[in-house]
C-alpha cells in the first residue's frame, strides 16, 4: 500500500491496478517462466506487447492506418531534436508557438538545424496565459510545433488551432489521453510517457505516413522516423518493461473510458481552482480561466513564509509533489488521470484548515 498522496508533475501517480500488474510481471511474465525484466525484445511475447499497444493507441485516438505508432527512447526531449533533424532543412523554416518552458526548449533545439520562426509567445507575461494563435501561418513552413499543455505554467489549449496545409506537430506530454480530442488534426504528435502513460525514458510518437516522405536529410537509423517505422520501434534493444507499463496504462485508460476520464479531470480541476479563487491566502498563476490547465494547477501564497508553512503542512499530511517549479514558485498540483478525486478533496480540505488558521 502506498502511503503518500502524489501530486508530482512526472514521474507521477500511477493507478494501483497498473502497479499491481507491473509488479506481478516483474516476478513472472505470464507463462514464460521469465520476469518481464528478462524478456527478449525480439521474442513473440514482446511482439504481442508492441502490437497490442499500437492497436490501443490507434483505437483510443480514433486513428486509421494512415498513422504509424512508435515507442522511442529519449523521452520528450529526444523528439525536440528528432523533429527538426527529420523535417527542417538547413535552408528551411519551421514555426514554433512559445507558450512555456518546454515549448521554448523545443524551439531552441530546432535552431541547430534550420531557421525557426517564433509565431507567438507569452514569455513577457511569464507564460501566465497562452499566446494569441497567429492569424496567418506562412505557407512555406516545414511544420508548426506547439505544446498542448504547459506543465510548468499550468496553461492548456482547449481547442486545436488551425494551420491549413502546414503540418501541425503537437507535444502532448502532459495531457495525452486526458480528454476527448481530435488527434486527426495532427500530422504528428508525441508524449513523454511519465505523466499519463507510464514510466520515464520513452516517448510515444504518432506520425502520419505522408510525413515520412518529407524527411530532409540523411540520418542514422535510430534518429530517422522512417527507419524506426520499418523496424517497428525495435531497431535496438527496446525498453521492454517501460513499453509494457505503457500498455498497462493504455488498457486502464480503455477500461475507464476517455469520456469518464475527462469528466473526472474536469471535476478535480474545478474543485481546486474554486478553492484557490475564493481564498484570501492562495492565488492562481493563470488568471484567464479559459487558459487554465486541467492537468497542472499552479498557485502561489501571499508570502514566502506562508508558502513554506503550507509546504510543511502538506509534508506532515503525506501530501507530496506539491512544490511549484522554480520559474513560477509557489505550488503546483498535477492532476493527471491516475490522481483520484479524493486526493484533490484532501488537498482542498487541508488548504481550508490552513487558511482558517493563517488567513
Ligand atoms: C510538455 C513537456 N514536454 C517535454 C518534456 C520533457 O520530457 P523528458 O523529461 O522526458 O525529456 C516535459 C517534461 O516534463 C513536458 O512536460
Domains and CATH numbers, the chain: 17-256 (3.40.640.10), 258-358 (3.90.1150.10)
Average pLDDT over residues 248-264: 98
Per the prediction, the chain carries an average pLDDT of 97
pLDDT at 256: 98
Strands 282-284 and 149-150, bridge-based pairing: unpaired
CB 215 within 8 A of CB 208: no
* pTM given for the model: 0.98
Question: pLDDT tens digits for 298-318?
Answer: 999 999 999 999 999 999 999
- Determine whether 136 is an active site residue: no
Average pLDDT rounded to a whole number, residues 242-248: 98
- Please check the confidence at residue 261 and state whether its pLDDT lies above 80: yes
- Strands 188-192 and 168-171, by their bridges, are parallel
Q: Is 246 in the pocket of ligand 1 (CB under 6 A)?
A: no
Mean pLDDT computed over 276-297? 97
Q: How confident is the model at residue 1 (pLDDT cuts 50, 70, 90)?
A: confident
Q: Give the pLDDT of residue 277.
A: 98
Mean pLDDT over 320-340 rounds to 96
Q: Distance, CA 54 to ligand 1 centroid (Å)?
A: 21
Catalytic residue among 71, 102, 157, 252: 102
Q: What pLDDT digit, counting tens, does each position of 84-139 carry?
A: 999 999 999 999 999 999 999 999 999 999 999 999 999 999 999 999 999 999 99
Q: For residue 149, which atom of ligand 1 is closest to its CA?
A: 1
Q: What is the mean pLDDT of residues 64-88?
A: 98
Ligand 1 midpoint to CA 9 (Å): 10
Ligand 1 and 75: CB distance under 6 A: yes
Atom of ligand 1 nearest to the CA of 172: 1
Half-sphere exposure of 143 (CA within 13 A, CB side): 25
pLDDT number for residue 72: 98
The three state secondary structure string of the chain is: CCCCEECCCCCCCCCHHHHHHHHHHHHCCCCCCCCHHHCCCCCHHHHHHHHHHHHHHHHHHCCCCCEEEEEEECHHHHHHHHHHHHHCCCCCEEEEEECCHHHHHHHHHHCCCCEEEEEEECHHHCCCCCCCCCCCCCCCCCCEEEECEECCCCEECCCCCCCCCCCEEEECCCCCCCCCCCHHHCCEEEEECCCCCCCCCEEEEEEEHHHHHHCCCCCCHHHCHHHHHHCCCCCCCCCHHHHHHHHHHHHHHHHHCHHHHHHHHHHHHHHHHHHHHCCCCEEECCCCHHHECCCEEEEEECCHHHHHHHHHHHHHCCEECCECCCCCCCEEEECCCCCCHHHHHHHHHHHHHHHHHHC
Cβ–Cβ contacts within 10 Å for residue 135, how many?
A: 6
Q: Is the pLDDT of residue 232 over 80?
A: yes
Residue 291 has what pLDDT? 98
pLDDT at 359 > cutoff 80 = no
Residue nearest to atom 15 of ligand 1 (CA): 173
Look at ligand 1, atom 8, and give the residue with the nearest C-alpha: 76
Q: How far is CA 258 from CA 122, 179, 188, 250, 251, in A?
A: 30, 6, 20, 11, 12
Mean pLDDT value of segment 35-63: 98
Q: Of all atoms in ligand 1, which is nearest to the CA of residue 151? A: 16
What tens digit of pLDDT does each residue of 134-167 get? 999 999 999 999 999 999 999 999 999 889 999 9
Of 1-5, 19-23, 59-63, 196-200, the poorest mean pLDDT is in 1-5
pLDDT band at 181; cut points 50, 70, 90: very high
Question: What is the position in ligand 1's atom list of the atom closest to the CA of 9?
Answer: 14
Q: In degrees rounded to 5, what are phi and psi of residue 72?
A: -115, 155
- Please indicate whether residue 171 is annotated as part of the active site: yes
What integer is the mean pLDDT of 279-288?
97
Amino acid at each position: 500500500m502506498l502511503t503518500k498522496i502524489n501530486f508530482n508533475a512526472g514521474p507521477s501517480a500511477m493507478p494501483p491496478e497498473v502497479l499491481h500488474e507491473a509488479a506481478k510481471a516483474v516476478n513472472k511474465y505470464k507463462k514464460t517462466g521469465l520476469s518481464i525484466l528478462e524478456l527478449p525484445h525480439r521474442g513473440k511475447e514482446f511482439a504481442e506487447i508492441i502490437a497490442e499497444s499500437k492497436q490501443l493507441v490507434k483505437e483510443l485516438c480514433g486513428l486509421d492506418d494512415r498513422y504509424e505508432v512508435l515507442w522511442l527512447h529519449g523521452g520528450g526531449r529526444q523528439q525536440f531534436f528528432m523533429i527538426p533533424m527529420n523535417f527542417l532543412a538547413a535552408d528551411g523554416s519551421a514555426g514554433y508557438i512559445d507558450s512555456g518552458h518546454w515549448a521554448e526548449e523545443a524551439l531552441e533545439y530546432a535552431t541547430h538545424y534550420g531557421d525557426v520562426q517564433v509565431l507567438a509567445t507569452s514569455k513577457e507575461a511569464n507564460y501566465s496565459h497562452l499566446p494569441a494563435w497567429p492569424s496567418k501561418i506562412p505557407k512555406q513552413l516545414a511544420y508548426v510545433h506547439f505544446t498542448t499543455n504547459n506543465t510548468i505554467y499550468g496553461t492548456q489549449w482547449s481547442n486545436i488551432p488551425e494551420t491549413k496545409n502546414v503540418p501541425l506537430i503537437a507535444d502532448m506530454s502532459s495531457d495525452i489521453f486526458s480528454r476527448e480530442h481530435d488527434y486527426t488534426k495532427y500530422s504528428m504528435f508525441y508524449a513523454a510517457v511519465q505523466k499519463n502513460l507510464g514510466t520515464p525514458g520513452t516517448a510515444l510518437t504518432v506520425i502520419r505516413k505522408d510525413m515520412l516522405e518529407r524527411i530532409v536529410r540523411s540520418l542514422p537509423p535510430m534518429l530517422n522516423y522512417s527507419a524506426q517505422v520499418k523496424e517497428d520501434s525495435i531497431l535496438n534493444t527496446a525498453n521492454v518493461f517501460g513499453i509494457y507499463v505503457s500498455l498497462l496504462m493504455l488498457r486502464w485508460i480503455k477500461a475507464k473510458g476517455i469520456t469518464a476520464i475527462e469528466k473526472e479531470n474536469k471535476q478535480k480541476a474545478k474543485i481546486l481552482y474554486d478553492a484557490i479563487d475564493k481564498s484570501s491566502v492562495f492565488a492562481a498563476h493563470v488568471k484567464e480561466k479559459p487558459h487554465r490547465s486541467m492537468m497542472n494547477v499552479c498557485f502561489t501564497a501571499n508570502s514566502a513564509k506562508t508558502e513554506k508553512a503550507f509546504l510543511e503542512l502538506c509534508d506532515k499530511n503525506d501530501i507530496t509533489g506539491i512544490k511549484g517549479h522554480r520559474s513560477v514558485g509557489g505550488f503546483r498540483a498535477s492532476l493527471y488521470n491516475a490522481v483520484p478525486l479524493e486526493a484533490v478533496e484532501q488537498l482542498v480540505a487541508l488548504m481550508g484548515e490552513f487558511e482558517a488558521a493563517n488567513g
